[in-house]
């Protein structure tokens, strides 16, 4: 019986193993080790039930969770790595726990990318951002969000859809607008000011010209 089976069964053995993880994180600093323990644990664990039990443990140590961002390990941090490997399962895990995003910096952009990629609909993204508004307040978090990605790629239809969503999010004007290129700021301001009708009118009448301008 391996370590994951013991944790899955619970009881004394499982509690000891989980306690050992806490002790490891309590007694070490990220700079003391040459690997990201969060990613190592999840790569070696085949059981989603066990991963769910361990998630509150590993996410309780954000200094370790963000370690890979500074070492060039894709994509950004443990949270976005989890999303990229588990998809909607990872999103569900993250929604079921309370995680303090106060230490998130540029790492948050990777997390938002993955949430949008795997949530399958913008409603899930909205709910997640509204639940963790601190994500919108961190420096550089929005510089690589789906919004700006679609803008840079000229994906006007997708961009319009996200703008309608984004206009209702906290700090949209103060945070997002300040990080977007000047060429898009006026266009996005018009969408925010005039609402959904303008957005879809822009899509029908100005989509191609907007793409050309972006290029």
**pLDDT tens across 51-66, in order?**
666 666 666 666 665 5
To the question of pTM greater than 0.85 for the whole model, the response is no
Domain stop point among 116, 140, 164: 140
Average the pLDDT over 58-75 and give the result: 53
Q: What is the pLDDT of residue 27?
A: 81
CA distance 124 to 115: 8
Phi and psi dihedrals of 76, rounded to 5?
A: -140, -55
| 114, 180: one domain | no
| 122, 153: one domain | no
Cβ-contact 110, 72 below 8 angstroms: no
Cβ-contact 47, 4 below 8 angstroms: yes
Instruction: Give the pLDDT confidence of 142-190 residue by residue, as tens digits.
Output: 444 555 555 555 556 655 655 555 555 554 544 444 444 444 556 556 6
Q: What's the domain range around 178?
A: 145-215
Residue with tokens 């303090």: 100
Domain stop point among 78, 107, 140: 140
| 80, 179: one domain | no
Domain stop point among 75, 109, 140: 140
Q: What is the Rg, in whole angstroms, of the alpha carbon atoms belonging to the chain? A: 20
Q: What tokens does 16 get?
A: 């000891």
The percent of residues in the chain predicted with pLDDT above 90, rounded, is: 0
Distances in Å between the alpha carbon of 121 and those of 15, 102, 150, 195? 37, 26, 16, 20
Distances in Å between the alpha carbon of 202 and those of 45, 159, 163? 48, 11, 12
Q: What is the largest CA-CA distance in the chain?
A: 66
Domains contained in the chain, number: 2
Considering 4-13, 21-30, 42-51, 204-213, the range whose residues carry the highest mean pLDDT is 21-30
């Amino acid at each position: 019986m391996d370590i994951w089976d013991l944790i899955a069964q619970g009881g004394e053995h499982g509690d000891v193993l989980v306690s050992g993880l806490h002790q490891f994180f309590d007694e070490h600093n990220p700079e003391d080790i040459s690997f990201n323990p969060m990613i190592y644990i999840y790569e070696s664990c085949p059981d989603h039930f066990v991963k769910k039990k361990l998630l509150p443990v590993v996410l309780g140590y954000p200094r370790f969770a963000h370690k890979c961002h500074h070492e060039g390990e894709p994509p950004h941090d443990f949270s976005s790595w989890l999303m990229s490997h588990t998809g909607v399962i990872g999103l569900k895990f993250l929604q079921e726990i309370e995680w303090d995003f106060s230490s998130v910096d540029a790492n948050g952009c990777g997390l938002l990318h993955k949430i949008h990629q795997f949530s399958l609909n913008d409603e899930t993204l909205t709910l997640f951002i509204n639940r963790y508004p601190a994500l919108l307040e961190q420096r550089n978090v929005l510089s690589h969000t789906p919004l700006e990605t679609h803008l840079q790629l000229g994906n006007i239809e997708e961009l319009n859809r996200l703008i309608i969503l984004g206009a209702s999010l906290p700090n949209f004007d103060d945070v997002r607008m300040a990080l977007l290129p000047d060429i898009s700021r006026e266009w996005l301001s018009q969408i925010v000011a005039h609402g959904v009708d303008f957005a879809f009118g822009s899509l029908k009448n100005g989509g191609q010209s907007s793409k050309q301008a972006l290029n």
